[in-house]
Amino acid sequence: MLHNPRKRRIACSVNEQHNEPYANNNNNEEEEEKEKEVHKNGEARSLENSFEQNSPQSVDAEQLNKFSDENKDQNDVQSVDSTEVASGSPLPGVKPQQLDEAIKIPKETIEVLKNQVFGFDTFFVTSQDPYEGGVLFKGNLRGQAAKSYDKITKRMHDKFGNEFKFFLLINPEDDKPVAVVVPRTTLQPETTAVPEWFAAGSFGLVTVFTLLLHNVPALQSDLLSTFDNLNVLKDGLPGALVTALILGIHELGHFVVAQNTGVKLGVPFFVPSWQIGSFGAITRIRNIVSNRENLLKVAAAGPIAGYSLGLVLLLLGFVLPPSDGIGVVVDASVFHESFLAGGIAKLLLGNVLKDGTPISLNPLVIWAWAGLLINAINSIPAGELDGGRISFAIWGRKASFRITGVAIVLLGLSSLINDVAFYWVVLIFFLQRGPIAPLSEEITDPDQKYVAIGIAVLLLGLLVCLPYPFPFTDESLVSF
């Protein structure tokens, strides 16, 4: 990250959604009988020996059964988790700190978790392994993942307060559900040498300069002359304001939806670019997101807001006459660079748009197009970009990891002929490669309406970036 707070985090590699219903993971009757017997014997031994001696808050089996049926809809424990974690990769060369023995979970607590927090009605534990200062429990998930998560979290809170954090994830070895419990002290953020707001403000000022410079082509060929002709930068102010407005609306979309879903976002770091003015902003998620649906809502909100404003301004630019009667003169072939922009141009301009023929446009077209391109770049399904978070939320961790690999390879190939793609590969690799921090519950799929919105965002980004392949001629009849 441009300014990445070092935080202790769960570096959990988990996979995508398992396709079969988890309520039916073990249909074999013999295995069911074995589980019941193990559960019964284990519970009896635990209640008689360990819990009465080591846990003053222990309860008996009847109380546990009653408790599991009470207040099913009380307190949506999954909705908001204020624990701050580190999203994204650590700085290059920095090794994770070793955990102290004192903050690891003792054996007595593990037994309480197995026999009093987890249960036959939620998650039946068959084995456990030490994991990152906590414990990874393997077993069989009962019922719907979201409901089981809420039950387990409430029981854990009643037994231990806020001492531990519970995650319901997917085992990378067999694609089955696993439960991870870690002390919250392992998730606390560490202090940083440079205040986040200072670093973000510094990069913001540089981005303002590059936005102005991008809209004054005469200065781009001789950067040093910029400091002798600062008054010329004012000519780039209208274009810089339009692009900045689209970027601002993009970030506002993230923050508004984040407020409604309980997601805490860090200060956005606007990344300057000599080619297009800015690469957009890097916005860190500062707390643990409850589930994939909320991640999808937050990730898609920014591009939706940015695309909406950008498209309105693009259409307005095509409709309005050129400013000062001249506007911006470009060759019609420039619209081959974007399927979306080329299709709209052909639809609205018709036969006026011919390859090799200069055309006068309102500069709003170019400014809005730049804003759309920045949104499209951030919609690439890779790492912790908006598109990467969207693909993670829709298809799960394993699939999103593979999609990220494909996207980076394609960007790498594109960088051979496009310098913007090259810089973006570098940006993703060093600042946005991830991994995405574990969600509280990663098993439940998002609602289909949000899935459709997320896919639409990815497709729209593709339309902005893909070239328009059809010729601009009088005979060409292209509908968009």
Tens of pLDDT, residues 51-65: 333 333 333 444 434
Residue 291 DSSP code: B
First-last CA distance in the chain: 39
Grouping H, G, I as helix, E, B as strand and the rest as coil, residue 435 is coil
- The most confident of 88-92, 102-106, 136-140, by mean pLDDT: 136-140
Q: How many CB atoms lie within 10 A of CB 325?
A: 7
pLDDT at 191: 62
At residue 13, does pLDDT exceed 70?
Answer: no
Q: Is 191 exposed, middle or buried (0-12, 13-18, 19+ CB in 10 A)?
A: exposed
Identify the H or E element spanning 411: helix 397-414
Segment 186-218, tens digit of pLDDT: 876 656 667 778 888 888 898 888 888 877 765
Chain-centre distance for alpha carbon 296: 7
At residue 98, does pLDDT exceed 50?
Answer: no
What is the average pLDDT across 30-38?
A: 47
Segment 56-91, tens digit of pLDDT: 333 344 443 444 444 444 444 445 666 665 444 332
Selected residue with higher pLDDT from 128 and 254: 254
pLDDT at 230: 61
Taking phi over 0 as left and psi of -120 to 50 as alpha, with beta for the rest, 457 belongs to alpha
Structure-token pair, residue 56: 């003053």
pTM for this structure? Answer: 0.77
β-strand 177-183 against 358-361: which pairing, if any?
A: unpaired
pLDDT at 263: 95
Taking phi over 0 as left and psi of -120 to 50 as alpha, with beta for the rest, 190 belongs to beta
How long a stretch of residues is the chain? 480
Query: How far, in Å, CA of 442 to CA of 394, rounded?
Result: 11
Q: Which of 369-378, 391-400, 417-426 has the lowest mean pLDDT?
A: 417-426
Residues contacting 329, CB < 8 A, separation 6+: 358, 359, 360, 361
pLDDT band at 227 (very low <50, low <70, confident <90, very high): low
Query: How far, in Å, CA of 156 to CA of 150, rounded?
Result: 10
Query: How far, in Å, CA of 418 to CA of 433, rounded?
Result: 21
Query: How far, in Å, CA of 256 to CA of 235, rounded?
Result: 33
Q: Which of 34-48, 106-120, 264-278, 373-387 has the lowest mean pLDDT?
A: 34-48
- Whether residue 375 contacts residue 246, with contact meaning beta carbons closer than 8 Å, is answered with yes
Name residue, tokens 């981005």: 207
Q: How many CB atoms lie within 10 A of CB 455?
A: 14
At residue 367, does pLDDT exceed 50?
Answer: yes
Residue 84 DSSP code: B
Structure-token pair, residue 224: 């040093």
Query: How far, in Å, CA of 305 to CA of 251, rounded?
Result: 8
Query: How far, in Å, CA of 302 to CA of 280, rounded?
Result: 11
Q: Is 190 exposed, middle or buried (0-12, 13-18, 19+ CB in 10 A)?
A: exposed
Q: How many CB atoms lie within 10 A of CB 135?
A: 22
Sign of the Cα torsion 316, 322, 323, 328 reads positive
Segment 247-280, tens digit of pLDDT: 999 999 999 999 999 999 989 989 888 778 888 8
CA angle 296, 299, 305 (to 5 degrees): 120
Q: Percent of the chain scored above 90 by pLDDT?
A: 40
